[in-house]
Every structure is written in C-alpha cells, then in structure tokens.
Amino acid sequence: MSETTAIVITLILYKVALLGIGIVAQRRTSGAGDFFLGGRSLGPWVAGLSASASSSSAWSLLGVSGFAYAKGISALWLFPACVGGFWLNWYVLAPALRRRSLKDGALTVTEMLAGPRDAPGSRIIRRVSTAIVLVSLMAYVASQFQGAGKTFAETFAMPMTEAVLLGSAVVVVYTMLGGFLAVSLTDTLQGFVMALASVILPGAALVSIGGPGALIDSLAAVPTPGFNSLTQGMPTAAAFGFVFGLLGIGLGYPGQPHVVNRFMAVRDETALRQARMIAMGWAVVLYSGMIVLGLCARSLLPALGDGEVAFVAAARVLLPPVVAGVVLASVLSAIMSTADSQLLVAASAVVHDLPDQADEDPVRMVKRSRIVVVALSVVAVVAALAGDKSIFDKVLFAWTAMGAAFGPVLLVHVLRGSVRWRPRLASIILGFGTAVLAYWVPATAGTAWERVAPFVLALAVAWWGASSSPQR
C-alpha cells in the first residue's frame, strides 16, 4: 500500500466516524438546551478532552511547532503560558461559572453577562457581545480552514481552494446535525487523537535526532540569530515586552466562549474535578510535545520554507504510512475541534443571544441554528481563501481580542459578585477595543501591550463595577 493511499484511507475512516457521531447525537437533540449546552450532561472525559481540544486549534499543532521551528528556544515560554491558561480556566473559573450558570439558567456566555432580557443594559450588552463573537470567531474559523489547506497541500499537493472546501464541509455537517452534543463527542475523539500525535511524532523526532543531548547540540549549530536565546537576543525593554506578550496568551483562556461553555455543561462537581485533571495532563503532553517537535524538525528538516508545515512534513518523513495517516488526522482534529465549537457559539449568538425576545419553539430554534451554521461557514471559507496565510498571528489576534473582551468581566462576575451593567459593558468594549488597537500598531503587536494590557484595563473596570448586590 502506498503512503498516499494509506493516509487517504485513514482520513476517510476518521471522517466517517465523526459523521456517525453527528448522526447519533442528532437523535438526542430536541431543544435549545440540548443544541447549545448538551442538556448539561457532560461527564469528566467528554468535558475534559472536548474543552481541551476546543481551546487548542491548528495553532497548537501547526502554529506552536512552527514557532519553535522558526524562533527556537524562546518557544519555551509558550509552555507556561498555555498550561497556565488551562489552570486559570479549570481551577479558578470553571467551578464558579458552572454554579452561576445553573443559578441563572444561562445557556451561553453572552446570556450570562447580559442577564435577563428585561434587565437594564441587557439589549446593548447582547448586541455588542454578539458583534465581538462574530468578528473574532470568523477570523478564528477562517484560520482553521487555512490550517486544513496547509495540511492537504503538503500531503497531497492539493490546491488550497479544494482543501478548504473539503475540510469545512465535514465540520459543517456534523455540527449542523447534532449541535453541542455532537461537537463535544467528536471533540473528545479529536482530543484523544491530538494527544496521541503529541507523543508519537515528537518521540519519533527525538529518537531520529539521537536523543535530548543530540538535540541540544544540534540547536547550537543553527545559524539563525537569537535562535538559542530565551529572548531572541533582544535588548532588555524589547525582551520584556516579548516574554510578557507570550505569557499573556494564558490570560485569553477565560474569555473564549467556545471553551468555557463546557464548564457550564458539566453534569456535577465530581465530574468537574475529574475533568480538570484530565485537561491539565492533556495540556502538558500537547504543548511540550509540539515545542520538542519544532526544535527537532529545525535540525531534521532545515530547508522548510514555512515552519508551520513542520508537523506535516515530519510525520511523512519519520512515520510509517498508516501511523502518518493517524497523526495527520490529528491536524484535522485540531482544526475541526475548534472550528465546530466556534461555529456553534457563533450560531447561538445570532439565534439565541441577539433577538430581543427568546424563541420559545425549540424545533424552530434548532432549524434556524443549523441554517446560521451553514451561512457562517460560507463567510469563513471566503475569508480563509482571501486572507493571509499565517495561522499563528491570526489565531492569537482573535484569541487575545475575545479573551480581553469577555475574560476579565466573566471572572469578576462569577467570582466577586455581579458587575453593574455600565461597567460591565465598558469592560467588554475596552478590552476588545484596546486589544484590536494594539494589534494594528506595529510597535505593540505581539507584545505585552497587546496581550496583557487590555486584559488588565478591562479587569480593573470590571472590578470597580462589581457589587455583591443584585445586577443593576
């Protein structure tokens, strides 16, 4: 059996399994609570793995390994950033968010922040939040479809247009069929495949290069300036901004609606405690594996023009065809596990959060949600084909902007007490607006001014507006 045939067969079987899960989940989806939150019935493995997979997109496999390939030792800062973000989500936010969402009966993060539809400020908070969700998630989903394009292009010499259409089609079908439950179940499978790939491929690369000692020696020979420096050889002030900019990635985790909605859907406190242990272990395996892979690939495959294809190129060179097929399926896992969750959250924002009056007909709401999933997917495909091809930068922009918008106010809202509606709205707008501004200014893009300062400013406003009294 040829390499291409083995990879194609593996990927087809994998996609068939995902569609099968979508069909099964459809039978258990009868209303808005099921479609948007799975009936709050997630067990520890589904909650832990699906939330992890949703928070770790193509950026985590292609972007992180590509960053290590291109930038070297400084990629080590991504490990405490991302694992720290997991800790912040699971140990600080998750328990309080689950209890508060049950108390309020909220199905979405926007509904949690806006409060009842007749509450002061609810309408404008819903509209602003919906706009932020749509802008951020469409950029994010487009980057996932670009990740699919890079994977197929590197593996099969397939044109980007065909690759993007193929990858997006499968995501749309099973998301549209089963909603939140289908997304959570498929993300669980995808999270397992991603973890498996994060052990197999870096392990094979490390063995091929001769072990840890040989890796260290090979890195010393890389001619790229700053490759062996934790700060890329920058001056002190620039190094400070660079390091805190990378560490600031962790602050974005609490503000991702497509991730934290899993906390709202966990069935009980026991399942939540078990899920967070699973999620933390998964994060350690994945991010350490991708950094090691990128560093190894720089010595094993020094001539790659695009570091973000290091994962795919290494799989084809180092692994038997069938195993390579499974590993390449992990890239699609990363793409689909994030894109499906984001499409569902975007659909819920349009159908459930935006209207002034909630639709009481669950069947009609589910139908409308499926139509919106398709429409938003078309927008994301167009953006994927028309936009620039850097996954790392585009994902971090959307991640940071949405994290600064929702993370600070959500943390304060569920941990300290209800935030008055004007400071709540101001915190959302300030966090998003300053993150976007810092991204567009070349001197501040990618530094602590983009990834830390907006979060801190929004947190200060939300903290000032917090009160132990009922929302007002």
Chain segment 326-339, per-residue pLDDT in tens? 777 767 766 766 77
pTM score, whole prediction: 0.85
Average pLDDT, the chain: 83
- Percentage of residues in the chain with pLDDT exceeding 70? 84
Q: What is the pLDDT of residue 389?
A: 56
The CATH number covering residue 60 comes to: 1.20.1730.10
> How many structural domains compose the chain?
1
Indicate whether 472 pLDDT > 50: no
Indicate whether 379 pLDDT > 70: yes
Residue 254 lies in a domain: yes
Mean pLDDT of 279-284: 96
Residue 293 lies in a domain: yes
Greater confidence (360 vs 58) lies with 58
Q: What is the pLDDT of residue 61?
A: 86
Q: What is the pLDDT of residue 382?
A: 85
Q: What is the pLDDT of residue 328?
A: 76
pLDDT single digits (tens) 246-269: 999 999 999 998 888 888 888 889
Residue 120 lies in a domain: yes
Q: Tell whether the torsion through CA atoms of 323, 189, 200 and 155 is positive or negative.
A: positive
- Contact assessment for residue 84 and residue 248, using Cβ atoms and an 8 Å cutoff: no
Indicate whether 22 pLDDT > 70: no
Q: Among 23-37, 239-253, 314-328, whose mean pLDDT is lowest?
A: 23-37
Q: What is the pLDDT of residue 200?
A: 93
Q: Which residues contact 98 (CB under 8 A, 6 or more apart)?
A: 263, 264, 266, 269, 272
Distance CA 287, CA 87 (A): 14
Indicate whether 37 pLDDT > 60: no
- The full 3-state SS of 116-154, as one line of letters, equals CCCCCCHHHHHHHHHHHHHHHHHHHHHHHHHHHHHHHHH
**C-alpha closest to that of 170 among 309, 15, 318:** 15
Residue 54 lies in a domain: yes
Indicate whether 198 pLDDT > 90: yes
What are the helix and strand counts (H, E) for the chain? 21, 0
Residue 352 lies in a domain: yes
Q: What is the pLDDT of residue 367?
A: 76
Residue 442 lies in a domain: no
Q: What is the pLDDT of residue 398?
A: 86
Residue 244 lies in a domain: yes
Q: Which residues contact 336 (CB under 8 A, 6 or more apart)?
A: 18, 144, 167, 170, 171, 186, 190
Indicate whether 287 pLDDT > 80: yes
The pLDDT-based confidence of 126 (bands split at 50, 70, 90) is very high
Residue 18 lies in a domain: yes
Structural domain that includes position 194: 3-391
Mean pLDDT of 15-44: 64
Q: What is the pLDDT of residue 221?
A: 86
